[in-house]
Amino acid sequence: IEEIEKILYLMDSRIEVLERSNPLGVTEKYLRKDLENLKHDDKPVKSV
C-alpha cells in the first residue's frame, strides 16, 4: 500500500510543478483527455 501512496504523491507533486511552470499546458492536456472521451461516445456525430 505504501508503494501506491508514494506513486500517487509523486504524480500529484509532478502535476503541481507542471501547473506552476506551464498552467496552460496542463489544462490543454486535460481538455485533450475530455476530447478523447467525447470521441469515444456512442452518440453518432451529425455532419453538417
In a domain, 14, yes or no: yes
In a domain, 22, yes or no: yes
Number of structural domains in the chain: 1
In a domain, 31, yes or no: yes
Going residue by residue through the chain (48 aa), what tens digit of pLDDT does each one get?
A: 789 888 888 888 777 776 677 667 667 777 778 777 776 666 665 656
**pLDDT value of residue 44:** 60
In a domain, 45, yes or no: no
Q: Which domain holds residue 19?
A: 1-40
In a domain, 48, yes or no: no
Helix residue ranges per DSSP H, 1-48: 2-21, 23-39
Could you give the C-alpha distances from 13 to 1, 29, 30, 38, 48, in angstroms and in order? 19, 16, 16, 28, 44
In a domain, 27, yes or no: yes
**pLDDT value of residue 11:** 80
In a domain, 34, yes or no: yes
In a domain, 16, yes or no: yes
